Amino acid sequence: MLRVVVCVSGGGTNLQAILDKVANGTVKNTEIVRVISNNPNAYALERAAKAGVEGVCVSPKEFADREAFHEALLAAVLEAQPDLVVLAGFLVAIPPRMVAALPSRIINIHPSLIPSFCGVGYYGLHVHEAVLSRGVKLTGATVHFVDEDMDSGPILLQKAVAVEEGDTPEILQRRVMEQAEWELLPRAISLIAEGRVRVEGRKTYIMNSDEEMKG
Ligand code: GAR
């Protein structure tokens, strides 16, 4: 069983997609062992509770400084003994110490086709606002491994989504979620749970089941 900790900050629709696909068997050999939020009011924590998954809040407001917050966050993650940490709308920059503690074991979903519209300041609706201002015709979502820099780690999965005339940031955000994010993130977890993902430098390779059989 792949032990997965999911980190969230808000509504938790990506968390829900994961919970649903673990529950219905689409994502196999996976257990969501803990959900961690930096925001005590995140609806994602209610989604965790409804699914019978332990929810933990580690809010920066409870700590004297960033260092103490980072320490508590890492402790909450490691205590759950995860094989994989999934950032599902977690709007906190991951401290280098956590990346070092869990090398190639943290993945993130970002609502654009990296390396476009990513990095500092690009999160949530801001990404879709920037996409619409730039006038691109295609956007999408990316699942990538987390390294020391923001949105820069090895890319695992991407899916393009069309921008349509009349889109608002909210409409586009919803389309990207429905057509890309809710599909990509569970699939990424599934591939990792099946042992089919290899990371080499900045690249990832997905083995098909046959290759895996051959070793
Ligand atoms: C998602 O669109 C996710 O890709 C984005 O926040 C949203 C969270 O929604 N993440 C980022 O922008 C990270 N840079 P959710 O809470 O409903 O899953």
**DSSP β-ladder status, 2-8 and 30-37:** parallel
Paired strand residues for 158: 142
User: Does 146 contact ligand 1 (Cβ within 6 A)?
Assistant: no
Sketch the domain layout of the chain as residue ranges. Answer: 2-214
Q: Is the CB of residue 178 less than 8 Å from the CB of residue 187?
A: no
Rounded Cα gap, residues 182 and 174, in angstroms: 10
**Per CATH, the architecture of 2-214 is what?**
3-Layer(aba) Sandwich (3.40)
pLDDT > 80? residue 132:
yes
List pLDDT tens digits, range 90-108: 999 999 999 999 999 999 9
Confidence class for position 209, pLDDT limits 50, 70, 90: confident
Give the lowest-confidence range in 102-106, 114-118, 207-211: 207-211
- Give the Cα separation of 152 and 146 in Å (integer): 7
CA-proximal residue: ligand 1, atom 1 (nearest): 89
**Is there an atom of ligand 1 within 6 Å of 107 CB?**
no
Q: Is the pTM of this model over 0.75?
A: yes
Mean pLDDT for the chain?
Answer: 96
Residue 20: burial class (beta carbons within 10 Å; 0-12, 13-18, 19+)? middle
Q: Which of the listed residues 7, 9, 14 should we mutate to test ligand 1's pocket, taking the one with most ligand atoms within 8 A of CB?
A: 14
Residue 215: per-residue pLDDT = 47
Tell me how far apart the alpha carbons of residues 166 and 185 are, in angstroms, rounded to a whole number: 27
Question: Mind listing the pLDDT tens digit for each residue in 28-84?
Answer: 999 999 999 999 999 999 999 999 999 999 999 999 999 999 999 999 999 999 999
Instruction: Tell me the sheet residues that pair with 84.
Output: 4
Q: Which residue's CA is minimally distant from atom 15 of ligand 1? A: 12
Contact 82, 6 (CB under 8 A): no
185 lines ligand 1 (CB under 6 A): no
Q: Is the CB of 181 under 6 A from ligand 1?
A: yes
Distance 48 CA to ligand 1 centre (A): 16
Query: According to the model, what pLDDT value does residue 193 have?
Result: 98
> Is 110 an annotated catalytic residue?
yes
Does any ligand 1 atom lie closer than 6 A to the CB of residue 43? no
> Active-site residue among 70, 110, 128, 144?
110
